A and B are shown apart, each in its own frame.
Chain A
Amino acid sequence: MTPEQRRKNRNTASALVILVIAVMVWAFWRGGSLGG
């Protein structure tokens, strides 16, 4: 794998990790505002 390919993979993965964190925060926020 070339360094360029590695960088591209890392960037794509970082974007996906941000998506995962955003979904988790959203779920907690809905839980707090609707249930608490």
Chain B
Amino acid sequence: MSSVTADHVPTSHGHDDHDHKPHGWRRWLFATNHKDIGTMYLIFSFCMLLEGGVLALLLRTELFSPGLQFFQPELFNQFTTMHGLIMIFGAIMPAFVGFANWMIPLQIGASDMAFARMNNFSFWLLPIGAILFTVSFFVPGGANAAGWTMYAPLSLQMGPGMDFNIFAVHILGASSIMGAINIIVTVLNMRAPGMTLMKMPLFCWTWLITAYLLLAIMPVLAAAVTMLLTDRHFGTAFFNAAAGGDPVLYQHVFWFFGHPEVYVMILPAFGIVSAVVPAFSRKPLFGYASMVYATAAIAILSFLVWAHHMFATGMPVTGQLYFMYATMLISIPTGVKVFNWVATMWRGSLTFETPMLFAIGFIFVFTIGGFTGLILAVAPIDIAVHDTYYVIAHFHYVMVAGSLFGMYAGAYYWLPKWTGRMYDEKLGKWHFWSSMISFNITFFPMHFLGLAGMPRRYADYAAQFTDFNEIATIGAFWFGLSQLIFLYLAIKAWNGRGEPAPANPWEGATGLEWSVPSPAPFHTFVTPPVVK
């Protein structure tokens, strides 16, 4: 691909100009427009990011000093668990669906998503799931404290908070499955004439593959938590060792979902970075086809490596060797991607606006997370640092600097298209540098803590870990406050303040989304464009 041109240029007299839209609360409650639903997804996910972020700050507050300061260990464990669940199911996944809703129809020249009403239903399931998560803190026994993985047998012994969690996961899973079906059908059936699969922007490709991943894994998670539910209340013994079940089986089923889930949360970010880097390098993406194949290879391999999360449960050496080498194999297609991004920048006419800063930051810091992932893939090392802060550092380098920075790159890149206003570039750069520095202050010391043996999911720790924990806590508060800059910029743009944005504010950006005015009209591509 990646520079498609269309012979469809909407004008003020054109077909795309009619901007009739419902008003008031009905517009949002009964929304069927992909842009409105995308906006709701993005707002919802940012609210959940703040909720999960507050929980993280409560954890870091307790961990500022050794000993118990503010929270009892039971409550601390509820915070760790709900921080993970809310960030994964409430913040990251819905945020990427928001991006998909906004951008996929615009990028493939479709008038809307394939199933507009189902799209509405998928969104409105989310607040129900979020309420169940949040309310579970106030039921007897409190929220789920078994960790986001909900391992048996601990999860079989929890109070009713666990049932709230199980229902929330069911509901959010149903929402994800519907969203995935909608995306696949839209991409496969609703592309504009001439928009062949291999001309699609990489973001659509990464989301198509992600949607297939979701369809394959969310039913497995649903089955796993349903088996938990029946073990808890209906006398079955899937995972209950006392009745002849096997708790390790739960881990196998969970991680068959859980490992591909990591790629569900990162592949769309790869797609965003693959849009941003060429735009600010003023060059087409290097190795488009290899990017597509690498994405597919990552997705396929992600199904074959789940037990690397379980080295410490004990498994035959042949099993350890297989999962170790299979995991290392994933670094090859991932390396292809990193190489292609760097090659795209090579001898490009680079500028460093905020989306590009976040994209380069993503590449740099995500790669660090990838390397620590490789280290963790080595079974003997994994057994040594299993369930320590090394693991926490690793996956926050992947999820925060990976998924979140990728999302910020996309948000700044497309904000002019969404709102019709340019953000304040200076504040955007402040947001990036402040986030980048504070992120590393928070999470880099955790590598050392993990290597020194500090276990995760404990409210207390030995005195020798104090210094690095103090640094991490200061960094966490700095990082949390930095995100308010983005909130301010987003609210300002959405309120129509700031410099008006042209249809294509970026010199090097290509693609159908830039052929429509900014902000994108309520209805776009009612007459499909013809892509050359």
Q: Which residues of B contact A8 (CB under 8 A)?
A: 189
> Is the CB–CB distance between B111 and A35 below 8 Å?
no
Q: Which residues of A contact B219 (CB under 8 A)?
A: 20-21, 23-24, 27
Tell me whether A3 is interfacial, beta carbon within 8 Å.
no
> Is the CB–CB distance between A35 and B246 below 8 Å?
yes
Q: Which residues of A contact B246 (CB under 8 A)?
A: 34-35
| Chain A residue at smallest Cβ distance from B113 | A9
A36 shortest CB reach to chain B, Å: 6
Q: Say which residue of B189, B245, B253 sits within 8 Å of A9 (CB atoms).
A: B189
Interface residues of A in 5-26 (CB under 8 A from B): 5, 8-9, 12-13, 16-17, 19-21, 23-24
Please classify the interface of chain B as helix (H, G, I), strand (E, B), loop, or mixed, using the class held by over half of its residues.
helix
> Is the CB–CB distance between A35 and B189 below 8 Å?
no
Q: Say which residue of B180, B181, B220, B249 sits within 8 Å of A23 (CB atoms).
A: B220
Q: Which residues of B contact A17 (CB under 8 A)?
A: 181
B120 shortest CB reach to chain A, Å: 16
Q: Which residues of B contact A35 (CB under 8 A)?
A: 227, 237-239, 245-246, 249-250
Tell me whether B330 is interfacial, beta carbon within 8 Å.
no
Q: How far is the CA of A14 from the CA of B24 in the complex (A)?
A: 34
A19 shortest CB reach to chain B, Å: 6
Given contacts A12-B184, A30-B253, A31-B227, contact A20 B236 (CB under 8 A): no
B345 shortest CB reach to chain A, Å: 37
Q: How far is the CA of A31 from the CA of B215 in the complex (A)?
A: 19
> Is the CB–CB distance between A20 and B177 below 8 Å?
yes
Given contacts A24-B220, A36-B244, contact A19 B215 (CB under 8 A): yes
Q: Which residues of A contact B114 (CB under 8 A)?
A: 9, 13
Q: Which residues of A contact B252 (CB under 8 A)?
A: 34
Q: Which residues of A contact B239 (CB under 8 A)?
A: 35
Tell me whether B461 is interfacial, beta carbon within 8 Å.
no
Given contacts A8-B189, A31-B249, contact A36 B220 (CB under 8 A): no
Q: How far is the CA of A35 from the CA of B243 in the complex (A)?
A: 10
Q: Which residues of B contact A12 (CB under 8 A)?
A: 184-185, 188-189
Q: Say which residue of A9, A24, A28, A36 sits within 8 Å of B237 (CB atoms).
A: A36
Given contacts A19-B215, A31-B238, contact A24 B245 (CB under 8 A): no
| Chain B residue at smallest Cβ distance from A1 | B111
| Chain B residue at smallest Cβ distance from A27 | B223
A15 shortest CB reach to chain B, Å: 10
List 10 A-B pairs, minimum CB-CB distance, nearest first: A27-B223, A24-B219, A35-B249, A23-B219, A35-B246, A9-B114, A27-B220, A35-B238, A12-B185, A16-B181
Pairs A–B under 8 Å by Cβ, sample size 27 = A9-B115, A12-B185, A12-B188, A16-B180, A16-B181, A16-B185, A16-B215, A20-B219, A23-B219, A24-B220, A24-B223, A27-B220, A27-B222, A27-B224, A27-B256, A28-B223, A28-B227, A31-B223, A31-B227, A34-B249, A34-B252, A35-B237, A35-B239, A35-B249, A36-B238, A36-B244, A36-B245
Residues on A lying within 8 angstroms of B by beta carbon are 1, 5, 8-9, 12-13, 16-17, 19-21, 23-24, 27-28, 30-32, 34-36
| 7 further A-B pairs in the complex, CB-CB below 8 A; given A19-B215, A28-B223 | A5-B190, A8-B189, A24-B219, A30-B253, A31-B238, A36-B237, A36-B245
